Amino acid sequence: MPHDAWGLSLPYLIDTYKNGAGTITNENLYVWHRLSPATACENDFTKGNTASQLQIEFLPWDIVTDRVFFSALLVSGASYTVTIGGKIATSESLDWTSIPHTGTGGLYHGSASFSGLTGTVKVCLEREELGTVLCVDGGTITSDCSSTAGYTNWNAFTAFEAGDKTGGESMLNLSDQKCIEGFGTNNFNTICVFVCGLGYCPPAACTCAQMGTPPKVPDVTGFTGYSANGMIEYQGLCAFACLYGFCGFANNTVCVDSPTALYIPTVSPLNPPACTGGSGEGDFSDLCNWSCQYGYCPISSCTCNTQGDLVVPPAQVSDVKATFIPVTGVMEYDDLCAFACSRGHCPDVCASDLACTSGSGTGNYIGLCVYTCQYNFCPEPCDCLVYGTETPAPPIVPNVTGYAALGLDSATYDPLCNFTCSHGYCPNGACSYEEAVDPSTSLVFPSDDDLFPFDLSTSYSAGDGFLYDTPEPSNLTLNINLYGTPVVWGDIDCSSLSGEYAPGVDGDTLGCIAASV
């Protein structure tokens, strides 16, 4: 949608900026407005402000108004009329919102509501002695959203009309003008309205809204003003304002006429408020509870419940990509996950490439946690200490399942031991493991006459048999740790941590070793 109309007054404004005074070579009128009421069509995640800058967000219709706006560059005053669909559009008054206060020509600004009206927009300027001097046909306002796929087009339609050439009138030079109207944010507004109206409008605290012929300043009262709460940002404003009577105003809450101890606040009072707490529903609950406390509270997902000074978010541990699992492909939801996950808080509803690369634990967990956390497996009671790019874990040992060692808490040890043991690290005292048996692997168990006595100096391999001679009948079991690929030897299963046994003749015990020891 073209916005050429907004460039109509640029030559005049550039001339004013560069030379202090602009020249009006011809009068003109330009108009802008939306083509549909704010709530007529779907919003599609449009909002005012942006959570990514830690700003409090607003729904667009809470900021924009259903109005037709217009500006005119004129050598002298004129009245206006606005019609929509042939009906007069209402205005708070027939006065302009802003006019030059220089006794010369300049820019005039006005607006009129189109609430409840649809149809073609027309704005005209009239002078009593001349009648209509300029008219602009605007766009057509409609509640039909079919031409925009059902969504609101928040872009403004613009139109303009240039009038006849003028005699080249110039405005009052900026060097001869003063601020005559202004405002401030938060608690500064009352005092800024007062001082800006007297030509003193310091830009660090106040915003000048209107320049013009220097205003008449009231008599000096002789009172020196001081910051009421000691905040140094008010000191200069109070010193000026109270000289002209501000300290005696009933609505003055920021200045006093006696000295106070000054201090410099740790957070600027000029900052806009930030979200300090919020909530979300369903899958957004954890994300919103965590993110909103740090000023990141997107209105599409969360509700900001408390406001105040910004609480600085934790530093990013890594720049990550993240997605919101329950609803994929929605940028606003993915961005919420990215904000939280990149700072180490990544709930199960988010998927990200954030990885733990180093961690630790306490007591008997230290070794397990150090091992698992480096490979992005860092469950409680482990603590991740460093995040970054995921490091691949060693290859999985086939058919190995790890468990907590006897007497340890299986709820916390089993997940850690299963990870470590299945990747080749199974520390004694913390973990044990069991290897699955391949039922297709089977041998014929030999008779005890074919076995040699067990010898501590002998190195046994998988499937080796031996004879362990005992002096009397015994149901001796072998406590042998098994490593590698287990085998089944007849009806003797050599797959557990303890070697299997079978009673032999005269108390002898037959056993097998499932793997090399």
SS (H, E, C) 477-498: CECCCCCCCCCEECCEECCCCC
Q: Which of 333, 311, 309, 307 is nearest to 322 (CA)?
A: 333
Task: Pull the structure tokens for residue 428.
Answer: 């004694």
Whole-prediction pTM: 0.69
Per 3-state DSSP, the chain is made up of helix, strand and coil in percentages (nearest 5) of 20, 30, 50
Residue 511 confidence (pLDDT) above 60: no
Q: How do residues 93-107 score in pLDDT, each as one tens digit?
A: 668 999 998 877 899
Residue 473 confidence (pLDDT) above 90: no
Please work out, in degrees rounded to the nearest 5, the angle formed at the alpha carbon of residue 470 by the alpha carbons of 465 and 474. Answer: 95
**177: helix, coil or strand?**
coil
Task: Pull the structure tokens for residue 112.
Answer: 């009129």
Whether 91 and 110 have beta carbons less than 8 Å apart is answered as yes
Counting every residue written for the chain, the total comes to: 517
Mean of the pLDDT values across residues 115-134? 93
Confidence of residue 461 (pLDDT cuts 50, 70, 90): low
Q: How do residues 145-168 score in pLDDT, each as one tens digit?
A: 999 999 999 999 999 999 988 887
Mean of the pLDDT values across residues 12-40? 94
* Complete DSSP assignment for 283-329: GGHHHHHHHGGGT---TTT-EEEEEES--PPPPPS----EEESSSTT
Q: How do residues 419-428 score in pLDDT, each as one tens digit?
A: 999 999 999 8
Residue extents of the structural domains in the chain: 4-174, 177-256, 274-353, 364-434, 437-517
Strands 119-127 and 131-141, bridge-based pairing:
antiparallel
Residue 57 confidence (pLDDT) above 80: yes
Q: Which of 426, 289, 429, 419 is nearest to 356 (CA)?
A: 419
Residue 498 confidence (pLDDT) above 90: no
- On average, the pLDDT of the chain sits at 85
Q: Which of 293, 232, 236 is nearest to 263 (CA)?
A: 232
Please work out, in degrees rounded to the nearest 5, the angle formed at the alpha carbon of residue 344 by the alpha carbons of 340 and 345. Answer: 50
Confidence of residue 465 (pLDDT cuts 50, 70, 90): low
CA distance 23 to 294: 50
CA distance 408 to 413: 7
8-state DSSP, 175: G
CA distance 337 to 344: 11
**Alpha-carbon distances of 317 from 298, 369, 386, 391, rounded to whole Å:** 21, 19, 8, 16
Contacts of 295 (CB under 8 A, 6+ apart): 51, 54, 55, 274, 275, 276, 310, 311, 313
Confidence of residue 499 (pLDDT cuts 50, 70, 90): very low
Residue 247: φ, ψ to 5°: -60, -25
Residue 480 confidence (pLDDT) above 60: no
Strands 157-170 and 303-308, bridge-based pairing:
unpaired
Q: How do residues 227-259 score in pLDDT, each as one tens digit?
A: 998 889 999 999 999 999 998 888 888 999 899
Whether 255 and 248 have beta carbons less than 8 Å apart is answered as no
* Complete DSSP assignment for 359-385: EE-SGGGHHHHHHHHTTT---TT-EEE
Say how far residue 426 (Cα) sits from the centre of its chain: 42
Which of 1-15, 37-51, 99-113, 501-515 comes out lowest in average pLDDT?
A: 501-515
Neighbours of 285 (CB within 10 A): 14
Q: Which residue has the tokens 């105003």?
A: 249
Mean of the pLDDT values across residues 293-297? 98
Residue 449 confidence (pLDDT) above 90: no
Mean of the pLDDT values across residues 493-499? 41
